[in-house]
Structure 1
């Protein structure tokens, strides 16, 4: 595949994962390798342009406008990253610049900033697509005048040289009035500013970005030294070809913007379709309208759930339908949940009598306002605390150690996904008694009592050997009697309505980790069907979740295939 055929399929490759971003990178790389536009044998070679730059530099030195800098080492063949077209030249950045230096921060730092004055450009103002000065700082005129070495001129190229934004670069527009830069930004001022746009393209290309990442200095924070920057090898095309390259890059970047906008609109449309479909499904309605909504989803499954976000919504909808009693038909022969509640009550009283459990504080009945939806006949609204025979009870989190011990404690990551993952644990050097409540047993339910709002209240079932792990302080453990299906309760706690209940009651000040307490968990309203219906619901949910897994696997494979196609095409184009 050559450049011409690649750009004929431009829009096709844009659908690959991060496709538009990769297209932008490819455009820049093709530009600096001389593969973006055809060469014209009538163009003056870059050597002529270089000679003009050298003469101008000598004139500026002679007139005392710039100082003569230390000679740069000649280009070594081992430094050359790729071959260049006829008429191009490799040149060190210091050879074509009259100024290459970092800015500085005024004495007093942020204290001297003011609402008006001279613009003080910092790394957050420098972006590859141009300066962003909406949040620019200002300094007084007298400080600006004292900091003459950091003055910014129209046509300068600014380059971030420290921090997370290192390598980001902007061309200062021609209508820029005056300003200074901080010590985190370098000024690259060319002798011939007419080639500034091509040099900027080179600086933000993956070729130079890799150079920047390869020569960072500083232990505590990344940084790029000016001596390293001066030595960077830059590919220089003939003057007129540079102009053609810049025009082509601008046109293709505009096309990338349009593709990105179209893709985002398409993605938003698909997401909205999926949201509307799932919302209609879980909104209380007649059995007939529910069947119709479910049929609509079934008939348009691939369209409605063609993004990972929509599959996630579908999972939540399945759980919500399950706890609303809409996923499986009711059986009038099932004994009602009220009978089940009596059995649980008797079991709890027996355990209290035998000293295996403590009598807990009586919970108030579920108020009508707390019932998130109407449940089918035979179901009951009940507080979670009425169903437990142990807990909820917090775990234990002593300081972990780096060596192997006999006690492993889970970390939050073990249950964040909503599924138990035994790989996430740490060792602690503490003696835990064999009869301690901290030891986990198979089918114990774990709830995250503290995490970000996205995860606080997430439940997972422990599936493993008894007394293999203890659980941390940021989790609660709950155990239920045999009259309940632990999988149904797990699905209910992770459903949309339950998660909302827990999130809305999470405490925590600004900046601190949201937490839920034991009373909140005990107070969670649970829609309870008969045990046989619980089993039917769990079976149906598992079937549908398996379908979601298969759909996600297809999506993942499709994304991977598009990514491989894009990568192969890019390699071919760059090698052509």
Structure 2
């Protein structure tokens, strides 16, 4: 179930007047708006707020045929500027920031949907600056919203109400503040209304900016059409939304717990597999030591060693280099900006969530094709290991040329190590072995380089010990892994529907 879409559906039902029933005994919203209008006029006369000259006046509230949708009889359309005032932020200079004070500057990164983040990379100014700019001091129940983001991606206009906090919060530029004229508008209802689909469509239709940066202006924000219910219904709507959202939170937490359990189950399956505990041994299978002697007579074979007493008797231990070859990692190839014939497999082709993809691959310059002989062309069954960078080093995927389109061939770049298993060994078993938690930990512990740039040397892979079963058991293990993983994947897909 897509819980994000479910939340949006609940919000849209709420602000269309379809989430809770109307009560004919409620005071109509039109009466409420008249009182708010009077309160606004009082604040203007006292000089506490300014009258906007650009925005449509309250008395010019559009007729039904000019508004987004039909609303219940006791609701009323208004402009956002009829019920709130806008306050822009101040451009605090970074050279005035201090490590700690009671005056915290609220920047765009602090404002998320329904979450004001105060503890992540906080920024403060000294008290003297805070007092000089107290015009930008936030109040409890102000609504903050982000006014800048990525053009065309709707990754802003996030809104959140200001909670009661100990610190004094100052408004930075490109964060807007909406402050009610009267408490007769439920602040939580207004926060929910600003997240409604029709409101988002309307505000992003006014987006300005350059190719990469999008902006939303204060006047367009204040001119948003907002459907206002009676105050009593606003409260009922908020209670119902919160009830539904609480249930969705439980669902999401359950999904996260199940996702974690699925990941742990896969790790356990691999651990059992590489220790000979996933499938039964067959005494009729040729011992792995005999298989290894045929493959590599010079291999140093370990059998029945007390150090490896946890593996079955007909298994043996050898080094990865005894059963695999490793493509040399040279310089990065020369790339073509136009020819899309010969993909180059890079780190980002090993997808974070599993599998591989050439969607983000770059392409080989055709003039250099002769330099890439058969040794460097990837083959089905090759094991691809990210070998440089941060966070993704050691990520391992199995290459299948048949699943990546009709390319003549694919070659790796210098940041991907290629482990090629000899024909007498099951590559899927070796892939499962390297993917297991214990081997991934071994790789992590043997990385070279700095914190910002880690590197996995080929020698670490070559000298890695591998628990090798008889060939027939290798295939039984792989079949069992695939069957169990398929069942877990089906559960995972069901969570995403």
Which TM-score bucket, shorter chain as reference?
0.7 to 0.9
Question: Which residue in the other structure is 1:537 paired with?
Answer: 474
**Within 1, Cα distance between the matches of 2:42 and 2:354?**
70
Q: Does the C-alpha gap of structure 1 residues 496 and 158 become closer, same or farther in structure 2, counting only changes over 3 Å?
A: closer
> Conserved in 2, the CA contact under 8 Å of 1:401 and 1:428?
yes
Find the residue that maps to 1:376 and give its secondary structure: coil
Q: Give, in angstroms, the shift of residue 226 of structure 1.
A: 0.7
The structure 2 residue matched to 1:437, chosen from 349, 365, 375, is 375
Over the residues paired in the alignment, what is the CA RMSD in angstroms?
Answer: 3.7
The reply on whether 1:323 has 2:274 as its aligned counterpart is yes
Q: CA deviation at 1:454?
A: 5.3
1:249 offset after TM fit, Å?
1.3
Q: CA deviation at 1:128?
A: 4.8
CA contact (8 A) 1:153 1:176 kept: no
| Distance in structure 1 (CA, Å) of the matches to 2:286 and 2:436 | 25
CA spacing shift, 1:215–1:453, aligned 2, 3 Å: same
Query: Which of 193, 197, 215 pairs up with 2:183?
Result: 193
SS of the equivalent of 1:394 reads coil
Please give the TM-score of this superposition, normalised by the length of structure 1.
0.72
2:445 corresponds to: 504
Q: What TM-score, normalized to structure 2?
A: 0.82
Show CA shifts across 1:304-324 (max 9, x none).
xxx455444444433333322
Residue 71 of structure 2 is aligned with which of 60, 76, 84? 84
CA distance in 2, matches of 1:328, 1:182: 62
2:216 is matched with 224
Does 1:61 pair with 2:57? no
Q: Where is the helix percentage greater, Structure 1 or Structure 2?
A: 1
Give the secondary structure class of the aligned counterpart of 1:404: coil
Using the TM superposition, give the Cα deviation of residue 162 of structure 1 relative to its aligned residue in structure 2, in angstroms.
Answer: 2.4
Inter-partner Cα distance in structure 2 for 1:211 and 1:181: 25
Name the CA shift for 1:53/1:176 in 2 (closer, same or farther; >3 Å). farther
How far residue 542 of structure 1 moved from its aligned partner, in angstroms, is 1.8
Q: Which residue, out of 323, 328, 338, partners 1:403?
A: 338
Q: 1:143 to 1:243 in 2, by over 3 A?
A: farther
Match of 1:234 among 226, 235, 240: 226
Superposed displacement of residue 428, structure 1: 1.5
Secondary structure at 1:208 match in 2: helix
1:100-499 matches, within 5 Å, as: 100-106=86-92, 108-109=93-94, 111-129=96-114, 131-134=116-119, 137-163=123-149, 166-173=156-163, 178-197=168-187, 198-219=189-210, 220-237=212-229, 241-250=230-239, 252-254=241-243, 256-257=245-246, 260-261=249-250, 264=253, 307=258, 309-346=260-297, 374-388=310-324, 390-394=325-329, 397-404=332-339, 407-416=342-351, 425-429=361-365, 430-433=367-370, 435=373, 437-450=375-388, 453=391, 456-463=394-401, 468-499=409-440
SS at match of 1:100: strand
Cα distance 1:315–1:51, how it changes in 2: closer, same or farther (>3 A)? closer
- Give 1:262 shift: 7.3
Deviation at 1:377, TM superposition (A): 1.4
Cα deviation, residue 103, structure 1: 0.7
Query: Is the contact between residue 154 and residue 174 of structure 1 (CA under 8 Å) also seen in structure 2?
Result: yes
1:517 aligned onto 2:457: yes
Q: Is the 8 A contact 1:408 1:470 kept in 2?
A: yes
1:528 aligns to 2:468 (yes or no):
yes
Q: 5+ residue gaps in structure 1? A: 1-15, 272-306, 349-361, 564-576
SS in 2 for 1:409: strand
Match of 1:492, SS state, is: helix
After superposition, give the CA deviation of every residue in 1:188-222 in whole Å (9 maximum; x if it has no partner): 12222331513333223333233333333222433
Q: Would the alpha carbon gap of residues 372 and 235 (structure 1) be closer, same or farther in structure 2, given more than 3 Å must change?
A: farther
Residue of structure 2 equivalent to 1:303: none
Write the distance in 2 (CA, Å) between the matches of 1:364 and 1:398.
Answer: 38
User: SS in structure 1 opposite 2:74?
Assistant: coil
Distance 1:189 1:457, change over 3 A: closer
Q: Which runs of 5+ in 2 are unaligned?
A: none
Match of 2:28 in 1: 45
For 1:422 and 1:187, the matched residues in 2 are separated by: 44
Query: For residues 224-282 of structure 1, what are the alpha-carbon distances to aligned partners after superposition, in whole Å with 9 as ceiling and x for unaligned?
Result: 21111121111122xxx223322441364156336634763x567xx5xxxxxxxxxxx
Report how far residue 337 of structure 1 moved.
3.2
Structure 2 CA distance, aligned partners of 1:215 and 1:242? 30
CA distance in 1, matches of 2:251, 2:428: 42
**1:148-187: per-residue Cα shift (whole Å, max 9, x none)?**
5423234432222224863232334578785421113212
Cα distance in structure 2, aligned partners of 1:105 and 1:17: 39
Q: Which has the higher strand share?
A: 2
Q: CA shift at 1:76, angstroms?
A: 6.4
